[in-house]
Structure 1
Amino acid sequence: MESAKKYSARLFSLEVLGILVALLFLVPFYFVLANSFKTFPELAMSTAKLPKTLFLGNYEKVWTIMKFPKAFWNSLFVTVLSNVGLVIISSMASYRMVRKPTKFNNLVFLGFVAAMVIPFQSIMIPLVKVMSSINFMDSKLGLIGSYFGFGVSLNVFLYHGFIKSIPLEIEESATVDGSSSYGVFWKIVFPLLKPMTITIIILNSLWIWNDYLLPSLVLSSPELRTIPLATYSFFGQYTKQWDLALAGLTLSVLPIVIFFLALQRHIVEGITAGSVKG
């Protein structure tokens, strides 16, 4: 009985600590959301208080200044196509390296893992030079191709661990029934990768949707701007329109937050399933 009480007290303390940490992480969201409904004079007077009235003028201005529908479409186009390409390339490459563990394939996998530790800042200048030489600058397809290169390493690493947990006997049965290698992968293996595929899509979407640095290097035309680039237009050299910027941030974050909340349970499921076998 005494040990149960000690355990309950300890568990209660951890729960309280967890709630406090969660509230701490929610504080920035409060400041962004609350101040997005304030006029600039009211925001300058106090950033911590709730708005006196819900001022929607900021959102109306942001919708027009950012050309939000166009920026939203650009971000959606880049995010969706990047995810499709990364899932196809990474899953097929990982399957080949797991099922054909030759020295060359193991070396290639080691190269993917090693690429994960290379800082992006160290290859920005070579990236711009290469993209310019192949006429991929200021192009959404060039941006998508860049995401293929930078995202495939982590995706291959995650798929590689997950595929090891799939019994080989399932594939052997399909092969005996006359299925080709591609048929085995797309009809048998790929559907089993659903938990990890959803996890990868969520992680890639959070990264690509919120990325500012890579689009700022590749894209220069205003009509090609993604949401992070459009939001940055409120920060000038001498002025910072915080009332409009916070409204823009709220609009830009809302779609990806909804997407994440709808699919977050698959993250733990996918990563846990991928760690069944070493």
Structure 2
Amino acid sequence: MRNRWNIKVEVLGIALAILWLLPFYLMFVNSFKSKKEIFLDTTSPPEAWSFDNYITAFQELDFLTTLFNSLLITVVSVVLIVLFSAMAAYALSRAKSKMSTFLFFLFVSAMLIPFQSVMIPLVTVFGQFDMLNRGGLIFMYIGFGASLSIFLYHGALNNVPKSLDEAAKIDGANRWQVFWHIIFPILKPITVTVAILNIIWIWNDYLLPSLVINTTGSETIPLKMFFFFGEYTKQWHLALAGLTLAIIPVIIFYFFAQRSIIKGVSDGAVK
């Protein structure tokens, strides 16, 4: 019975994997075809594998500049979110008072506020301070990403005994040294989880960059892809080539970070 059940589960898993990979297959093979060839046959491989579509899409997307913008915004935002959220959560978890409790619930309650309800006044205020640019976008990401990150760090820190802090202070360490040399290394699993969640969100975000970025040459990949698809909606061979280029960085990131992703998510869940 167990063998039959295992076979059924494996068959189901293979079927789901094929179903999940089918859109990627169609996107990939059709990105090498001409416009005429796509409409004649969508599912078969191209008659001739040509990179002309990719060359055109690469140039039209200004891919290197767009990739740099996305990398800059994502890396800086995530690093600052991790640093500020970890320090804030540590202060709130160790300073047990009515004020720290109030501040913690204030951060948590911020997760319940829909972005759509604050986006117009937010953009208006940032526009008055001339911050509708990449720097302003990073600042917004820190604010919107801090709530969930502090919540996750706070939960992990509640499982870290205060005796570690006290032992380090007895050895002569100050509070800054206690956090960076003792506490923060212990938080590595939840740090990986926080980083992954924010990387996925910021890298794929379209709405906030569309409101903030109004300068040519500062667009992120999702924003540039929106304009690219609008221009090449009927030219699917170019649109699919551009889409393939856009997901390549994500695939490379997952390929190199898959062990850390799986370990960080599993360890963070256990904690």
* Structure-2-length-normalised TM-score: 0.92
> What is the one-letter code of the residue matched to 1:216?
S
Aligned to 1:115: 110
Aligned to 2:259: 265
Aligned to 2:206: 212
Task: State the Cα distance separating 1:145 from its structure 2 match.
Answer: 0.6
Return closer, same or farther for 1:60/1:166 CA change in 2, 3 Å cut-off. same
Task: State the Cα distance separating 1:246 from its structure 2 match.
Answer: 1.4
Aligned to 1:234: 228
Q: Deviations over 1:133-158 (max 9, x none)?
A: 22111x11011011111111121122
Return closer, same or farther for 1:156/1:23 CA change in 2, 3 Å cut-off. farther
Q: Deviations over 1:206-255 (max 9, x none)?
A: 22112111111100111111111222222337953322221111111111
Return closer, same or farther for 1:239/1:18 CA change in 2, 3 Å cut-off. closer
Between 14-23 and 215-224, report the one with greater CA deviation: 14-23
Task: State the Cα distance separating 1:170 from its structure 2 match.
Answer: 2.2
Q: Deviations over 1:177-197 (max 9, x none)?
A: 111111100111111222222
Q: Deviations over 1:91-139 (max 9, x none)?
A: 11111122223222222222222222322222221221121122111x1
Q: Is the 8 A contact 2:86 2:153 kept in 1?
A: yes
Q: Is the 8 A contact 1:165 1:274 kept in 2?
A: no
Residue 172 (str. 1) matches residue 157 (str. 2): no
Return closer, same or farther for 1:156/1:15 CA change in 2, 3 Å cut-off. farther
Return closer, same or farther for 1:272/1:238 CA change in 2, 3 Å cut-off. closer
Aligned to 2:31: 36
| Count of aligned pairs | 271
Between 174-183 and 110-119, report the one with greater CA deviation: 110-119
Give, in whole Å, the separation in 2 of the partners of 1:73 and 1:144: 14
Identity %: 46
Aligned to 1:8: 3
Residue 155 (str. 1) matches residue 127 (str. 2): no
Residue 97 (str. 1) matches residue 92 (str. 2): yes
Give, in whole Å, the separation in 1 of the partners of 2:113 and 2:28: 35
Partner of 2:230: helix, strand, or coil? coil
* Unaligned runs of at least 5 residues, structure 1: 1-5
Q: Specify which of 67, 78, 81 is matched with residue 76 of structure 2.
A: 81
Q: Is the 8 A contact 1:128 1:217 kept in 2?
A: yes
Partner of 2:96: helix, strand, or coil? coil
* Unaligned runs of at least 5 residues, structure 2: none
Task: State the Cα distance separating 1:276 from its structure 2 match.
Answer: 4.8
Question: What is the RMSD of the two structures over their aligned residues, measured on CA atoms?
Answer: 2.0
> What is the one-letter code of the residue matched to 2:247?
V
> What is the one-letter code of the residue matched to 2:255?
L
Residue 224 (str. 1) matches residue 210 (str. 2): no
Give, in whole Å, the separation in 1 of the partners of 2:42 and 2:97: 60
